[in-house]
């Protein structure tokens, strides 16, 4: 049986992305590297901070140092939780190369692990409330860093949602207003998207949801509908369309840890939120070069 690894999800282009990070951080002379030279050194990666955290981003961290001729020995598995302070990995290589990769690797690992940690916490909370549906992120990711952020969501145990404009058709209010109606927007999207793409339509009322379902939407996003209204709308629509149309309900907008219990209801199939990746608290890591023995 094949052994699954999160790294195997990554596209062939990801190594080149790491090279751009290094190029951005050292566009010209490396003055600090001149000072420390090329003596072979060993550095310990420590997971710090004040909270239980999820390790995420190992492939990217390893690749940063691989491109600099260094080796990384991991002492934890991807997706494993740890309590600070934890010796997470050991990096070996020339001193100036260790320092060339240090900040690039730590910044990436801090954000990716922060997203994985928050994703796991939101999912665990939802499951604790009895929710059986899908917890998902959003496309509100950092330009140029989406691959890492979506990867962090997956390691944290949630659905990353659509990766880009080409991986699913999502029609929001601006699309609908520009097209003239929900029905017109769906018809135009289906004409070019074909049968292979899911079609997710944002609605703001039960009447709009009815129109989207009638027109053939696969997913109905009940945007910013909360509380008893969310329950009522979802149940009314389920009953009305049972046996006539197949679709999923998604809720999104203004979801936090504080109100998660009100939104994580089993009448809703998908709960998508940017709280798992926007303004997320990073996990503190440090890389310390050890004195020669």
Spatial distance between the Cα atoms of 253 and 226, rounded to a whole number of angstroms: 9
Spatial distance between the Cα atoms of 85 and 83, rounded to a whole number of angstroms: 6
Q: Which residue, 17, 102, 73, 94, is CA-closest to 285?
A: 102
Q: What residue has token string 């060993």?
A: 42
Contact in structure between 154 and 160 (CB atoms under 8 Å): yes
User: How far apart are the two ends of the chain, measured CA to CA in Å?
Assistant: 43
Token pair, residue 201, equals 């339509």
DSSP state of 91: E
Q: How many other β-carbons are positioned within 10 Å of the β-carbon of residue 49?
A: 21
What are the catalytic residues? 140
Q: Is the peptide bond before 85 cis (omega within 30 degrees of 0)?
A: yes
Token pair, residue 96, equals 């100036």
| 157 phi, psi to nearest 5 deg | 95, 15
Spatial distance between the Cα atoms of 154 and 137, rounded to a whole number of angstroms: 9
Q: Which residue, 43, 79, 42, is CA-closest to 59?
A: 79
| 204 phi, psi to nearest 5 deg | -120, 5
Q: What residue has token string 């000072």?
A: 35
């Amino acid at each position: 049986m094949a052994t699954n690894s999160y790294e195997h999800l990554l596209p062939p282009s990801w190594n080149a992305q790491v090279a751009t990070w290094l190029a951005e951080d050292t566009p010209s002379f490396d003055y600090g590297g001149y000072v420390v030279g090329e003596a072979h050194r060993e550095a310990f990666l420590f997971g710090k901070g004040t909270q239980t955290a999820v390790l995420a981003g190992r492939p990217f961290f390893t690749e940063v140092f691989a491109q600099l001729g260094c080796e990384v020995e991991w002492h934890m598995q991807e997706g494993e939780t740890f309590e600070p302070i934890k010796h997470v990995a050991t990096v070996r290589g020339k001193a100036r190369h260790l320092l060339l990769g240090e900040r690039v690797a730590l910044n990436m690992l801090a954000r990716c692990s922060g997203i994985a940690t928050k994703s796991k916490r939101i999912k665990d909370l939802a499951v604790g409330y009895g929710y059986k549906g899908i917890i998902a992120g959003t496309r509100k990711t950092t330009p140029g860093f989406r691959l890492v952020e979506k990867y962090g969501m997956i390691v944290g145990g949630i659905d990353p949602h659509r990766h880009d404009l080409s991986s699913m058709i999502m029609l929001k209010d601006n699309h609908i207003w520009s097209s003239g109606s929900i029905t017109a927007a769906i018809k135009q999207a289906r004409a070019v998207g074909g049968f292979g793409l899911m079609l997710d339509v944002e609605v703001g009322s039960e009447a709009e949801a009815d129109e989207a379902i009638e027109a053939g939407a696969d997913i109905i996003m009940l945007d910013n509908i909360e509380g008893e209204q969310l329950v009522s709308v979802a149940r009314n629509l389920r009953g009305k369309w049972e046996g006539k149309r197949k679709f999923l309900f998604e809720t999104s907008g203004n979801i936090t840890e504080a109100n998660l219990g009100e939104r994580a209801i089993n009448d809703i199939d998908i709960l998508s939120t940017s709280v798992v990746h926007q303004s997320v608290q990073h996990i503190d890591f440090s890389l310390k070069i050890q004195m020669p023995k």
